[in-house]
Amino acid sequence: MINKKLSLVAIAGATLLALSACAGGGGGDAGTTAPVEESPEFEAGTTMAELAEAGSITIGTKFDQPLFGLVGPSGEPEGFDVEIGKIIAGKLGIAPENIEWKETVSANREPFIQNGEVDIVIATYTINDERKEVVSFAGPYYMAGQSILVLADNDDITNEDDLVGQPVCSVTGSTPAAKLAEIGAVPMLTDTYSNCLEPLRSGAVVAVSTDNVILAGLAAQNEGEFKVVGEPFTQEPYGIGLAHDDTDFRMWINDVLEESYEDGSYEQAWNDTAGEILPFVEPPAVDRY
């Protein structure tokens, strides 16, 4: 361990000298503090070795989720999921610029993992047993829960029981939408959460329901108009999706996650992104199954 650290320092020094000639400013990305390992070593034949060798990784994420995965005009996604991805890539020795981000909509997360279109998926991806049959999950790295967003002066709705029989907006094919149907609300479905706000304003729906972090992001973008009510009424553990049989990779990612909990990079990632709106909470224990 110590030898590794010394040699790392030596290599780091040499690389820095070499890079200083060509490197510009660097570190211009908003919130990128994920350190990049210089020459990580992995067992031959593991996915980690392949990725480190290739020097690039393809990560699937959402491009339209406030706070977690959002794409602006720069074309680079920003958000908490993105930061977690950068931490993992960093441990593989891959700099943020060499991460290829692909948009994974809810329906294509599993097919993309299965056919190798992406290496991992970090996209507010809820872990559940049915999905575990098709892909495997590292983490969970965050525990969200389904909650309710209403107009700021609506005091009639305080918890999920008040939604029964009422039209509630969510996204087609998502887990929260299925949950709404289950509790007896009337789901009104569209493509993006942002599209749910207009029906809420016009009264066509009484509430928007999805994971609490997304709702918080929506509320923050439209100050004062909406509020999140009630306690989360489900548990949505967000995990990192990867190939079903790649146990080595999964365990390694779990190690990386636990390290980031310890060394503060997780908290840093949170504070740089979602932390501007939501308070930091201790991460859940990873599930090594």
Partner 1 sequence: MPVDAVFGNLDRYVESFGVTLLLLLVSGAAALVLGSIIAVMRISPIGSLRVFGTVYTEIVRNTPLALVLFFCAYVLPILGVRMGYIYFAFIGLSVYTSPFVAEALRSGINGVPIGQAEAARSLGLGFRQSVGSIILPQAFRMVIPPLINVFIALTKNTSVASGFFVFELVALGKELANAHGNAVIPVLLGVAVFYLVITVPLGIVASRLERRWVVTR
Partner 2 sequence: MKGAAVLFDVPGPKARRLSLVLSVVVGLLILTGLGWLIATLAAPRPASGGLALPGMFDESRWDIFFGDPEIWGYIFGVGVANTLRAAAAAAVLALILGVLFSLLRTAKAGWIRIPTAIVLEFVRGMPVLLMMFFILLGFATGSYLAVVIALGLYNGALIGEALRAGLVSLPRGQREAALSLGMRELQSRAFIEFPQAFRQMLPIIVAQLIVLLKDTSLGYIVGYPELIRVTMNQLGSFYGNRYLFSFFIVTLVIYLAMNLLLSWFARWVARRGDSGRRGGRAAKPEETDPGLAVLKASAEARQVPQIHQ
Footprint on this chain of partner 1 (rule: CB under 8 A): 106-107, 110-111, 130-131, 133-134, 169, 172-175, 177-178, 187-191, 195, 198-199, 202-204
Query: Does 218 contact partner 2 by CB under 8 A?
Result: yes
Closest of 159, 166, 143, 147 to residue 218, by C-alpha: 147
C-alpha to C-alpha distance for 288 and 285, rounded to whole angstroms: 9
List the single partner that 56 binds among partner 2, partner 1, none, CB under 5 to 8 Å by kind: none
Q: Which amino acid is at 105?
A: V
List the single partner that 134 binds among partner 2, partner 1, none, CB under 5 to 8 Å by kind: partner 1
C-alpha to C-alpha distance for 243 and 249, rounded to whole angstroms: 9
| Span of 73-81, 138-146, 240-248, 267-275 interacting with partner 2 by CB under 8 A | 73-81
**C-beta of 3 vs 202, nearer to partner 1:** 202
Neighbour-count burial for 47-79, b at 16+ CB within 10 Å, e otherwise = bbbebbeeeebbbbbbbbbbbbbbbeeeeebbb
Query: Does 192 contact partner 2 by CB under 8 A?
Result: yes
First-last CA distance in the chain: 27
C-alpha to C-alpha distance for 40 and 5, rounded to whole angstroms: 11
Question: Which DSSP string corresponds to 163-216?
Answer: GTTSEEEEETT-HHHHHHHHHT-EEEEES-GGGGHHHHHHTSSSEEEEEHHHHH
| Span of 41-49, 63-71, 205-213, 279-287 interacting with partner 2 by CB under 8 A | 63-71
Q: Binding partner 2 by CB under 8 A: which of 153, 262, 279, 282?
A: 153
Q: Binding partner 2 by CB under 8 A: which of 8, 33, 102, 167?
A: 102
Query: Does 226 contact partner 2 by CB under 8 A?
Result: yes
**C-beta of 208 vs 286, nearer to partner 2:** 208
Q: Is the peptide bond before 283 cis (omega within 30 degrees of 0)?
A: no
Query: Does 104 contact partner 2 by CB under 8 A?
Result: yes
- Angle, CA 257 vertex, CA 50 and CA 95 arms, to 5°: 50
C-alpha to C-alpha distance for 81 and 141, rounded to whole angstroms: 10
Query: Does 137 contact partner 2 by CB under 8 A?
Result: no
List the single partner that 7 binds among partner 2, partner 1, none, CB under 5 to 8 Å by kind: none
Query: Does 197 contact partner 2 by CB under 8 A?
Result: yes
| Span of 59-67, 129-137, 141-149, 265-273 interacting with partner 2 by CB under 8 A | 59-67
Q: How far is the CB of 28 from partner 2 (least distance, A)?
A: 14
Positions that interact with partner 2 (CB under 8 A):
63-66, 70-75, 102-105, 107-108, 111-112, 114-115, 117, 151-154, 191-195, 197-198, 201, 218, 221-222, 224-227
